[in-house]
Structure 1
């Protein structure tokens, strides 16, 4: 997956994916969903009794994570790791609620990895369909891909978990260089962030392609070749109680 979001600079912790410092975005204009540090990643919490996480070494430098249980209200889960007991935690992946396993490969030998899983909740906007075809396209404005809040945009007033807190009026404008500029109306008052999701033509299910800060209502994405025809939606989210933390130390060289 091409780089999509911001992250703590922990490239040395694992060989993939490439990561970028907080507040910056990858040259592609996409944020790396595998490298997000959610806003409350350092918040202490008692482990969830609903989800039980386990981990096993399947080679000296490859760890497989599995979990049992499911939060019935979860829209998905975020899997995070750290190399220090107190964090900070870095996101490995946003996963759909039906998935229950993940492989963390090619790790640094002789290093202890700490893992946790958190549900996220919140309703998604209505999807919009995007087709990138030939012909003239508008040149994007400076800073078009930067996550931002449009000046004068109304602030959300509804609790994130309520049925009418999903983002509204999602619009997508195709620009030069196969870019897509998104705007939407934020209707949630207490979201901890937004997730931009897409479903390329011919695929089943939406996947997270960008994780954004609270109050953001504009963002630009440079598409991949398989995304020339795709559906997009945006979701306001709050994170749930994390699972237990599991720890494993990789083998030697």
Structure 2
């Protein structure tokens, strides 16, 4: 006896699994704000944007591991914005020297690798639970001078050797009209 089409559709649907959520999305949350989201892969992420899919690309922020979203606010109305993220990993240096003087801190560390993409200097401000990225250097640079902001006296520092993973697909949003005043 032949299988009726409705039964066949039901049998096929029963064997299908739900599609997994997109790995990287851009959502317009107001006429001039975009929220980017991605899945937690355990890495930190460099967030970049451009106004043309071919670039040039500008780094918005280096985000710590386990951060899965970024809000890009106060954008130019009626403008295309293209986004991509790139995971980064790397060991934290334990041989770090930070010297504070006259509102600045000089941080130095040894370069023990030959293939790094650079170094990421991170700060943990007094009372903060986590480190935040504060400066990125080029490869082979082993010193960084920072001006201390109010409340950063007594901060802890660490340096991470940067190794980048693959770039995400590019996602796009065009901002809306500016709110009328």
TM-score (structure 2 length as normaliser): 0.82
Larger radius of gyration between Structure 1 and Structure 2: 2
Structure 1: where are the runs of 5+ without partners? 1-50, 127-168
Residue equivalent to 2:110: 185
| Separation (CA, whole Å) in 1 of partners of 2:120 and 2:109 | 12
Cα displacement (A) at 1:96: 1.8
CA RMSD of aligned residues (A): 1.6
Residue equivalent to 2:39: 68
Cα displacement (A) at 1:170: 1.6
| Separation (CA, whole Å) in 2 of partners of 1:201 and 1:224 | 12
| Separation (CA, whole Å) in 2 of partners of 1:110 and 1:202 | 40
Cα displacement (A) at 1:252: 2.2
| Separation (CA, whole Å) in 1 of partners of 2:107 and 2:67 | 28
1:110-142 deviations in whole A, cap 9, x for unaligned?
A: 11100011100110112xxxxxxxxxxxxxxxx
Q: How does 1:52-63 map to 2 (within 5 A)?
A: 52-63=23-34
Which runs of structure 1 show a deviation greater than 4 angstroms over 4 or more consecutive aligned residues?
A: none
Structure 2 counterpart SS, 1:203: coil
| Separation (CA, whole Å) in 1 of partners of 2:119 and 2:93 | 11
Residue equivalent to 1:88: 56
1:231 to 134, 148, 156: 156
1:20-50 deviations in whole A, cap 9, x for unaligned?
A: xxxxxxxxxxxxxxxxxxxxxxxxxxxxxxx
1:78-134 deviations in whole A, cap 9, x for unaligned?
A: 1111111111211111112211111111111111100011100110112xxxxxxxx
Asked if 1:103 is matched to 2:71, the reply is yes
Verify the 8 A CA contact 2:64 2:133 in the aligned structure 1.
Answer: no
1:146-168 deviations in whole A, cap 9, x for unaligned?
A: xxxxxxxxxxxxxxxxxxxxxxx
| Separation (CA, whole Å) in 2 of partners of 1:118 and 1:91 | 10
Residue equivalent to 1:112: 80
Cα displacement (A) at 1:224: 1.2
1:163-187 deviations in whole A, cap 9, x for unaligned?
A: xxxxxx32111112x1111221100
Q: How does 1:1-253 map to 2 (within 5 A)?
A: 52-70=23-41, 72=42, 74=43, 76-126=44-94, 169-176=95-102, 178-253=103-178
The structure where strand makes up a greater share of residues is 2
1:214-234 deviations in whole A, cap 9, x for unaligned?
A: 110112111112111111011
Verify the 8 A CA contact 1:197 1:233 in the aligned structure 2.
Answer: yes
Cα displacement (A) at 1:192: 0.6
TM-score (structure 1 length as normaliser): 0.60
